Amino acid sequence: MPPLSQIVQRVIELLKRYPGVIALGGFLSGIGSFILVDRQAGLASWIAILLLVSWVWLMLENTLTRLFTRTFKREIPQPLLRYATQMIHQESLFFVLPFFFITTTWNSGQLVFTGLLGAAGLISIVDPLYYRWLAPRRWLFLALHTLTLFAALLTALPIILHLTTAQSFKLALIIAMALSFPSLISSFPINGWRRGVALVVLTLAVGAGGWLLRSWVPPATLWMTDVAVSTEVIDRQPGDSLKEVPASRIRSG
């Protein structure tokens, strides 16, 4: 039986030969989740949870790999770790894209945000762009990393926790900024208090910018499935739909 490292290497080479498989899988799961959410099916929540679990792995990658090495006396091959990161980016981006494409108002600033997600998705499936152009530029890699996490949270949190759009945005922004800070520290080591303060200020500035530009972010899981004109609401559901509204009622307010 070939050693584990050889098996892993063969799997990686096979996936690299067909890089669109992961992206296609993410896109199809996103469409499936969109349909399931529209039908209020519980399976969509499990798909979203699996997506966030993969991000937990990504955040704790160094700790978990050290634990794996101590426990099993084997090191996880670096190519596998790099590919796992790329795979999570692909899966996340192509999972959320159907949600954002449906809910984007294309004649507004939301076009910019959804366009960035589309560009990030393209970069994630083109190895020369991902490894030779993006990865060496650490700040760009972190930007894509944070953007992807933010978009994934915007989509997953309402599905899992049944939050409103405003609540999801606040929570997603806070979590994305909090989790991006350790990545910033690892990429730009703190050699003095000034650099530490600068990193904190940078993180807060990015968060503030995200909040100020919140109108540019489409409500990923908010869309209209039905419209009714009614004079009453019962248990958050409209009453009998009105076919006509008399002019006298309009004048009387």
The mean pLDDT value for 49-75 works out to: 73
The mean pLDDT value for 82-92 works out to: 79
Alpha carbons within 13 A on the beta-carbon side of 118: 11
Amino acid at 200: V
Model-wide pTM > 0.85: no
Run of H or E residues at 97: helix 78-103
pLDDT for 235 beyond 70: no
pLDDT tens digit sequence for 36-61: 655 454 555 666 676 677 777 766 66
pLDDT tens digit sequence for 173-217: 998 888 777 666 666 666 777 777 877 888 888 888 889 999 999
pLDDT tens digit sequence for 158-168: 877 878 888 88
pLDDT for 83 beyond 60: yes
Phi/psi at 50 (nearest 5 deg)?
-60, -35
**Crossing angle (nearest 10°) for helices 110-125 and 20-38:** 140
The 3-state DSSP class for residue 54 equals helix
pLDDT at 39: 47
Q: Delimit the domains of the chain by residue range.
A: 4-236
pLDDT at 155: 85
